[in-house]
Amino acid sequence: MSRSTKLFETYKLGPITLANRLVMAPLTRNRAVPGTFVPGPLAADYYAQRASAGLLITEASQVSQQGQGYQDTPGIYSKEQVAGWRKVTDKVHERGGKIFIQLWHVGRISHVDLQANGAAPVAPSAIRAKGKTFVNGGFADVSEPRALELSEIPGIIDDFKRATKNALDAGFDGVEIHGANGYLLEQFAKDGANKRTDAYGGSIENRAKLMLEVSKAVVAEAGAGRTGIRISPVTPANDVSDSNPQALYDHIVDGLSALKLVYLHVVEGATGGPRDIAPFDYASLRNRFSGAYVANNGYDFELASKVLEANAADLIAFGKPFISNPDLVERLKQGAALNDWDKNTFYGGGAKGYTDYLTLAAEPAE
Protein backbone atom coordinates (compact mmCIF):
# COMPACT_ATOMS: atom_id res chain seq x y z
CA MET A 1 0.00 0.00 0.00
CA SER A 2 1.22 3.45 -0.78
CA ARG A 3 0.29 6.52 1.27
CA SER A 4 -0.47 9.58 -0.75
CA THR A 5 0.43 13.00 0.66
CA LYS A 6 2.06 16.11 -0.70
CA LEU A 7 5.34 14.75 0.72
CA PHE A 8 5.67 12.53 -2.34
CA GLU A 9 4.85 15.17 -4.94
CA THR A 10 7.54 16.66 -7.14
CA TYR A 11 8.83 20.17 -6.54
CA LYS A 12 10.52 22.63 -8.85
CA LEU A 13 13.46 24.12 -7.00
CA GLY A 14 14.95 26.82 -9.22
CA PRO A 15 16.33 25.08 -12.32
CA ILE A 16 15.98 21.54 -10.94
CA THR A 17 13.00 19.29 -10.31
CA LEU A 18 12.95 17.27 -7.10
CA ALA A 19 11.26 13.86 -7.18
CA ASN A 20 9.58 14.47 -3.79
CA ARG A 21 9.50 16.92 -0.88
CA LEU A 22 11.87 15.04 1.40
CA VAL A 23 15.27 16.58 1.95
CA MET A 24 18.15 14.78 3.63
CA ALA A 25 19.41 17.33 6.17
CA PRO A 26 23.15 18.02 6.47
CA LEU A 27 24.65 15.49 8.91
CA THR A 28 28.20 15.59 10.26
CA ARG A 29 29.80 12.10 10.05
CA ASN A 30 33.58 12.73 10.56
CA ARG A 31 34.75 10.13 8.06
CA ALA A 32 36.90 12.26 5.75
CA VAL A 33 40.50 11.22 5.08
CA PRO A 34 42.70 12.52 7.93
CA GLY A 35 45.17 15.17 6.82
CA THR A 36 43.65 15.93 3.40
CA PHE A 37 39.99 16.10 4.51
CA VAL A 38 38.91 14.56 1.21
CA PRO A 39 35.52 12.77 1.51
CA GLY A 40 36.21 9.21 2.69
CA PRO A 41 36.18 6.07 0.51
CA LEU A 42 32.57 5.19 1.46
CA ALA A 43 31.08 8.67 1.05
CA ALA A 44 29.88 8.11 -2.52
CA ASP A 45 28.08 4.88 -1.51
CA TYR A 46 26.58 6.54 1.57
CA TYR A 47 25.05 9.43 -0.37
CA ALA A 48 24.05 7.29 -3.37
CA GLN A 49 22.19 4.89 -1.07
CA ARG A 50 20.04 7.87 -0.05
CA ALA A 51 19.54 9.30 -3.56
CA SER A 52 15.77 8.71 -3.53
CA ALA A 53 15.40 11.79 -1.31
CA GLY A 54 14.12 14.75 -3.34
CA LEU A 55 17.31 16.60 -2.36
CA LEU A 56 20.43 15.55 -0.47
CA ILE A 57 22.39 18.16 1.45
CA THR A 58 25.88 17.01 2.34
CA GLU A 59 27.44 17.14 5.74
CA ALA A 60 28.88 20.56 6.56
CA SER A 61 32.16 21.06 4.66
CA GLN A 62 34.71 23.67 5.63
CA VAL A 63 35.50 26.43 3.13
CA SER A 64 39.07 26.77 4.47
CA GLN A 65 41.36 25.15 7.00
CA GLN A 66 40.50 28.01 9.36
CA GLY A 67 36.82 27.05 9.00
CA GLN A 68 37.32 23.54 10.41
CA GLY A 69 36.27 22.79 13.97
CA TYR A 70 36.14 19.03 14.35
CA GLN A 71 38.27 16.04 13.51
CA ASP A 72 37.96 14.57 9.99
CA THR A 73 35.20 16.75 8.56
CA PRO A 74 35.52 17.20 4.78
CA GLY A 75 36.70 20.35 3.06
CA ILE A 76 35.84 21.99 -0.25
CA TYR A 77 38.92 24.22 -0.63
CA SER A 78 41.55 21.96 -2.25
CA LYS A 79 41.81 20.28 -5.68
CA GLU A 80 41.90 16.83 -4.09
CA GLN A 81 38.73 17.59 -2.15
CA VAL A 82 36.97 18.68 -5.35
CA ALA A 83 38.03 15.41 -7.01
CA GLY A 84 36.77 13.46 -3.99
CA TRP A 85 33.40 15.19 -4.05
CA ARG A 86 33.12 14.58 -7.81
CA LYS A 87 32.92 10.85 -7.07
CA VAL A 88 30.02 11.55 -4.72
CA THR A 89 28.03 13.77 -7.11
CA ASP A 90 28.58 11.38 -10.05
CA LYS A 91 27.22 8.41 -8.11
CA VAL A 92 24.24 10.36 -6.75
CA HIS A 93 23.41 11.63 -10.24
CA GLU A 94 23.71 8.12 -11.69
CA ARG A 95 20.98 7.11 -9.26
CA GLY A 96 18.82 10.06 -10.31
CA GLY A 97 19.42 12.12 -7.15
CA LYS A 98 20.07 15.83 -6.61
CA ILE A 99 22.72 17.08 -4.19
CA PHE A 100 23.79 20.39 -2.65
CA ILE A 101 26.90 20.82 -0.49
CA GLN A 102 26.74 22.68 2.81
CA LEU A 103 29.44 25.38 3.07
CA TRP A 104 30.80 25.85 6.57
CA HIS A 105 33.00 28.11 8.64
CA VAL A 106 32.92 27.17 12.32
CA GLY A 107 34.34 30.46 13.65
CA ARG A 108 35.08 30.07 17.35
CA ILE A 109 33.86 26.43 17.59
CA SER A 110 37.32 25.05 16.93
CA HIS A 111 40.55 24.04 18.53
CA VAL A 112 44.13 25.24 18.07
CA ASP A 113 45.15 21.71 17.00
CA LEU A 114 42.96 22.02 13.88
CA GLN A 115 44.29 25.44 12.89
CA ALA A 116 47.40 26.27 10.83
CA ASN A 117 50.44 26.59 13.11
CA GLY A 118 48.27 26.13 16.19
CA ALA A 119 46.67 29.56 15.71
CA ALA A 120 43.63 30.70 17.68
CA PRO A 121 40.27 30.13 15.94
CA VAL A 122 38.57 33.31 14.70
CA ALA A 123 35.31 34.86 15.84
CA PRO A 124 33.46 38.19 15.77
CA SER A 125 34.71 38.84 19.32
CA ALA A 126 37.30 37.21 21.56
CA ILE A 127 34.71 35.34 23.63
CA ARG A 128 35.20 31.66 24.20
CA ALA A 129 32.10 29.51 23.76
CA LYS A 130 31.11 27.20 26.57
CA GLY A 131 31.25 23.95 24.70
CA LYS A 132 33.31 21.14 23.38
CA THR A 133 34.58 19.93 20.08
CA PHE A 134 35.89 16.53 19.00
CA VAL A 135 39.60 16.55 18.21
CA ASN A 136 42.56 14.17 18.58
CA GLY A 137 40.18 11.27 19.20
CA GLY A 138 38.27 12.82 22.08
CA PHE A 139 36.18 15.73 23.31
CA ALA A 140 37.99 18.92 24.28
CA ASP A 141 36.93 22.44 25.28
CA VAL A 142 36.89 24.77 22.30
CA SER A 143 39.87 27.14 22.23
CA GLU A 144 39.89 30.84 23.10
CA PRO A 145 39.23 32.67 19.81
CA ARG A 146 40.60 35.97 18.55
CA ALA A 147 38.41 38.66 17.05
CA LEU A 148 38.68 38.98 13.27
CA GLU A 149 40.20 42.25 12.08
CA LEU A 150 37.92 44.31 9.88
CA SER A 151 40.50 43.89 7.11
CA GLU A 152 40.14 40.07 7.26
CA ILE A 153 36.42 39.99 6.52
CA PRO A 154 36.73 40.21 2.71
CA GLY A 155 38.97 37.12 2.91
CA ILE A 156 36.21 35.16 4.68
CA ILE A 157 33.74 36.15 1.96
CA ASP A 158 36.29 35.11 -0.70
CA ASP A 159 36.65 31.71 0.98
CA PHE A 160 32.91 31.10 0.58
CA LYS A 161 33.06 32.32 -3.00
CA ARG A 162 35.96 30.03 -3.91
CA ALA A 163 34.27 27.10 -2.17
CA THR A 164 31.17 27.75 -4.27
CA LYS A 165 33.21 27.65 -7.46
CA ASN A 166 34.80 24.42 -6.26
CA ALA A 167 31.38 22.95 -5.49
CA LEU A 168 30.18 23.65 -9.03
CA ASP A 169 33.42 22.16 -10.41
CA ALA A 170 32.71 19.07 -8.28
CA GLY A 171 29.31 18.66 -9.94
CA PHE A 172 26.99 19.77 -7.16
CA ASP A 173 23.50 20.96 -8.14
CA GLY A 174 23.87 23.85 -5.72
CA VAL A 175 25.18 24.99 -2.35
CA GLU A 176 23.71 25.59 1.08
CA ILE A 177 25.33 28.30 3.21
CA HIS A 178 25.63 27.15 6.82
CA GLY A 179 24.18 30.11 8.66
CA ALA A 180 23.01 28.07 11.66
CA ASN A 181 23.93 26.26 14.88
CA GLY A 182 26.30 28.72 16.47
CA TYR A 183 28.97 28.78 13.75
CA LEU A 184 30.67 31.85 12.26
CA LEU A 185 27.76 33.48 10.42
CA GLU A 186 25.41 32.99 13.36
CA GLN A 187 28.11 34.19 15.77
CA PHE A 188 28.18 37.47 13.87
CA ALA A 189 24.38 37.71 13.71
CA LYS A 190 23.59 37.09 17.39
CA ASP A 191 24.44 39.69 20.01
CA GLY A 192 25.46 37.10 22.63
CA ALA A 193 28.61 36.36 20.60
CA ASN A 194 29.14 39.63 18.70
CA LYS A 195 30.37 42.62 20.74
CA ARG A 196 32.04 44.43 17.84
CA THR A 197 31.90 48.20 17.58
CA ASP A 198 32.68 48.41 13.84
CA ALA A 199 30.39 48.03 10.78
CA TYR A 200 29.82 44.33 11.64
CA GLY A 201 28.62 44.81 15.22
CA GLY A 202 25.99 46.67 17.21
CA SER A 203 22.76 47.10 15.26
CA ILE A 204 20.79 44.25 13.72
CA GLU A 205 21.76 45.59 10.27
CA ASN A 206 25.46 45.46 11.16
CA ARG A 207 25.33 42.00 12.72
CA ALA A 208 23.39 40.56 9.75
CA LYS A 209 25.87 42.06 7.29
CA LEU A 210 28.33 39.16 7.05
CA MET A 211 25.60 36.55 6.44
CA LEU A 212 24.10 38.72 3.73
CA GLU A 213 27.44 39.61 2.14
CA VAL A 214 28.44 35.95 2.02
CA SER A 215 25.04 35.14 0.48
CA LYS A 216 25.50 37.83 -2.15
CA ALA A 217 28.95 36.51 -3.06
CA VAL A 218 27.74 32.92 -3.29
CA VAL A 219 24.78 33.96 -5.44
CA ALA A 220 27.17 35.83 -7.75
CA GLU A 221 29.10 32.59 -8.26
CA ALA A 222 26.35 29.92 -8.34
CA GLY A 223 23.28 31.88 -9.30
CA ALA A 224 20.38 32.48 -6.90
CA GLY A 225 18.57 29.38 -8.22
CA ARG A 226 21.37 27.18 -6.91
CA THR A 227 21.90 28.90 -3.55
CA GLY A 228 20.14 27.99 -0.31
CA ILE A 229 20.86 28.86 3.31
CA ARG A 230 20.24 27.23 6.69
CA ILE A 231 19.40 29.27 9.76
CA SER A 232 18.41 28.46 13.35
CA PRO A 233 16.81 31.55 14.91
CA VAL A 234 16.44 30.33 18.50
CA THR A 235 18.82 27.40 18.84
CA PRO A 236 21.07 27.39 21.90
CA ALA A 237 23.53 25.16 20.00
CA ASN A 238 27.15 26.07 20.54
CA ASP A 239 26.38 28.72 23.16
CA VAL A 240 24.85 31.47 21.05
CA SER A 241 21.86 33.60 21.95
CA ASP A 242 20.23 36.81 20.83
CA SER A 243 18.21 39.42 22.70
CA ASN A 244 15.62 39.77 19.91
CA PRO A 245 15.73 36.88 17.44
CA GLN A 246 12.42 37.75 15.77
CA ALA A 247 13.54 41.23 14.71
CA LEU A 248 16.99 39.91 13.75
CA TYR A 249 15.67 37.09 11.55
CA ASP A 250 12.87 39.13 10.01
CA HIS A 251 15.62 41.50 8.84
CA ILE A 252 17.94 38.70 7.68
CA VAL A 253 15.18 36.99 5.72
CA ASP A 254 14.18 40.27 4.04
CA GLY A 255 17.78 40.52 2.86
CA LEU A 256 17.93 36.90 1.69
CA SER A 257 14.64 37.28 -0.13
CA ALA A 258 15.94 40.36 -1.98
CA LEU A 259 18.91 38.24 -3.11
CA LYS A 260 16.40 35.64 -4.42
CA LEU A 261 17.96 32.62 -2.76
CA VAL A 262 16.18 29.48 -3.89
CA TYR A 263 15.48 28.15 -0.40
CA LEU A 264 15.47 29.05 3.26
CA HIS A 265 16.15 26.03 5.48
CA VAL A 266 15.02 26.65 9.03
CA VAL A 267 15.91 24.66 12.14
CA GLU A 268 12.76 25.26 14.18
CA GLY A 269 13.53 25.26 17.91
CA ALA A 270 16.64 23.72 19.48
CA THR A 271 18.78 21.82 16.96
CA GLY A 272 18.09 18.12 17.52
CA GLY A 273 15.98 19.02 20.59
CA PRO A 274 12.63 20.54 21.55
CA ARG A 275 10.78 22.43 18.83
CA ASP A 276 9.10 24.72 21.38
CA ILE A 277 12.19 25.95 23.24
CA ALA A 278 11.28 29.62 22.69
CA PRO A 279 8.37 31.48 21.13
CA PHE A 280 9.11 32.36 17.52
CA ASP A 281 6.93 33.17 14.52
CA TYR A 282 8.30 31.00 11.70
CA ALA A 283 5.35 31.94 9.46
CA SER A 284 6.74 35.47 9.48
CA LEU A 285 9.91 34.11 7.81
CA ARG A 286 7.98 31.98 5.36
CA ASN A 287 5.80 34.93 4.36
CA ARG A 288 8.74 37.27 3.88
CA PHE A 289 10.76 34.86 1.78
CA SER A 290 10.38 34.68 -1.99
CA GLY A 291 11.77 31.14 -2.43
CA ALA A 292 11.07 27.71 -0.94
CA TYR A 293 10.72 27.21 2.82
CA VAL A 294 12.45 24.05 4.03
CA ALA A 295 11.30 23.08 7.52
CA ASN A 296 13.49 21.00 9.81
CA ASN A 297 13.77 19.58 13.29
CA GLY A 298 11.88 16.67 14.76
CA TYR A 299 9.49 16.11 11.85
CA ASP A 300 7.81 12.76 11.35
CA PHE A 301 5.49 11.61 8.56
CA GLU A 302 2.35 13.02 10.18
CA LEU A 303 3.72 16.44 11.03
CA ALA A 304 5.49 16.74 7.68
CA SER A 305 2.34 15.87 5.74
CA LYS A 306 0.24 18.25 7.84
CA VAL A 307 2.61 21.19 7.43
CA LEU A 308 2.87 20.67 3.66
CA GLU A 309 -0.92 20.37 3.25
CA ALA A 310 -1.32 23.59 5.26
CA ASN A 311 1.20 25.21 2.90
CA ALA A 312 3.33 26.23 5.89
CA ALA A 313 6.41 24.73 4.14
CA ASP A 314 7.45 23.52 0.68
CA LEU A 315 9.99 20.88 1.67
CA ILE A 316 10.77 18.97 4.86
CA ALA A 317 14.31 18.06 5.92
CA PHE A 318 14.83 14.87 7.91
CA GLY A 319 18.14 14.26 9.67
CA LYS A 320 18.71 11.22 11.88
CA PRO A 321 15.96 9.13 10.19
CA PHE A 322 18.03 9.35 6.99
CA ILE A 323 21.12 8.06 8.77
CA SER A 324 19.43 4.76 9.63
CA ASN A 325 16.99 4.53 6.68
CA PRO A 326 18.64 4.91 3.29
CA ASP A 327 15.20 4.25 1.74
CA LEU A 328 13.33 6.63 4.06
CA VAL A 329 11.14 7.84 1.18
CA GLU A 330 9.93 4.29 0.38
CA ARG A 331 9.45 3.41 4.04
CA LEU A 332 7.32 6.50 4.65
CA LYS A 333 5.34 5.86 1.48
CA GLN A 334 4.51 2.34 2.62
CA GLY A 335 4.06 3.23 6.29
CA ALA A 336 6.78 0.66 7.03
CA ALA A 337 8.74 0.52 10.28
CA LEU A 338 11.88 2.66 10.49
CA ASN A 339 15.28 1.39 11.59
CA ASP A 340 16.58 2.95 14.82
CA TRP A 341 19.81 4.86 14.60
CA ASP A 342 22.91 4.05 16.60
CA LYS A 343 24.32 7.21 18.19
CA ASN A 344 27.67 5.55 18.79
CA THR A 345 28.42 5.46 15.07
CA PHE A 346 27.30 9.00 14.15
CA TYR A 347 30.75 10.55 14.31
CA GLY A 348 33.81 8.80 12.86
CA GLY A 349 34.51 5.17 12.05
CA GLY A 350 33.88 3.11 8.94
CA ALA A 351 30.98 1.30 7.29
CA LYS A 352 29.28 0.36 10.56
CA GLY A 353 26.39 2.75 11.13
CA TYR A 354 27.21 4.50 7.84
CA THR A 355 26.68 2.33 4.76
CA ASP A 356 25.36 -0.83 6.43
CA TYR A 357 21.77 0.18 7.29
CA LEU A 358 19.37 -2.01 5.30
CA THR A 359 16.65 -1.02 2.89
CA LEU A 360 13.27 -2.75 3.08
CA ALA A 361 14.15 -4.76 -0.01
CA ALA A 362 17.34 -6.06 1.61
CA GLU A 363 15.76 -6.96 4.95
CA PRO A 364 15.58 -10.69 5.65
CA ALA A 365 12.03 -12.07 5.28
CA GLU A 366 10.17 -12.64 8.58
Q: How far apart are the C-alpha atoms of 217 and 324, rounded to whole Å?
A: 35
Q: What angle do CA 311, 317, 322 make, to 5 degrees?
A: 140
- Count of CB atoms situated within 10 Å of the CB of 294: 26
Nearer to ligand 8OZ, 301 or 318 (CB): 318
Considering the complex, what minimum distance in angstroms separates the CB of residue 172 from ligand 8OZ? Answer: 17
Q: From the candidates 47, 70, 77, 183, give the one annotated as an active-site residue.
A: 183
Considering the complex, what minimum distance in angstroms separates the CB of residue 69 from ligand 8OZ? Answer: 7
Nearer to ligand 8OZ, 7 or 103 (CB): 103
Among 19, 21, 28, 62, binds ligand 8OZ (CB under 6 A): 28
Q: Which amino acid is at 4?
A: S
CA 215 to chain centroid: 14
Considering the complex, what minimum distance in angstroms separates the CB of residue 67 from ligand 8OZ? Answer: 11
Residues 40-99 within binding reach of ligand 8OZ (CB under 6 A):
60, 70
| Residue 37: burial class (beta carbons within 10 Å; 0-12, 13-18, 19+) | buried
Residues facing 140 on adjacent strands:
133
Using the rule CB under 6 A, is 296 a contact of ligand 8OZ? no
Phi, psi of 193 (to 5 degrees): -110, -15
Nearest to 69 by CA among 28, 33, 99, 102: 28
Half-sphere exposure of 191 (CA within 13 A, CB side): 14
DSSP 3-state assignment of 116? helix
Nearer to ligand 8OZ, 60 or 184 (CB): 60
CA 236 to chain centroid: 16
Nearest to 264 by CA among 241, 244, 240, 282: 282
Considering the complex, what minimum distance in angstroms separates the CB of residue 85 from ligand 8OZ? Answer: 17
Residues 213-272 within binding reach of ligand 8OZ (CB under 6 A):
237, 271
Nearer to ligand 8OZ, 18 or 27 (CB): 27
DSSP 3-state assignment of 140? strand
Among 49, 61, 62, 181, binds ligand 8OZ (CB under 6 A): 181
| Residue 170: burial class (beta carbons within 10 Å; 0-12, 13-18, 19+) | buried
| Catalytic status, residue 183 | yes
Nearer to ligand 8OZ, 28 or 297 (CB): 28
Considering the complex, what minimum distance in angstroms separates the CB of residue 47 from ligand 8OZ? Answer: 16
Considering the complex, what minimum distance in angstroms separates the CB of residue 33 from ligand 8OZ? Answer: 18
- Compute how many residues bind ligand 8OZ; rule: CB under 6 A: 7
Three-state secondary structure of 271-319: CCCCCCCCCCCHHHHHHHCCCEEEEECCCCHHHHHHHHHCCCCCEEEEC
Nearer to ligand 8OZ, 20 or 28 (CB): 28
User: Which residues of the shown chain bind ligand 8OZ in the complex (CB under 6 A)?
Assistant: 28, 60, 70, 180-181, 237, 271
Residues annotated catalytic, as ranges = 183
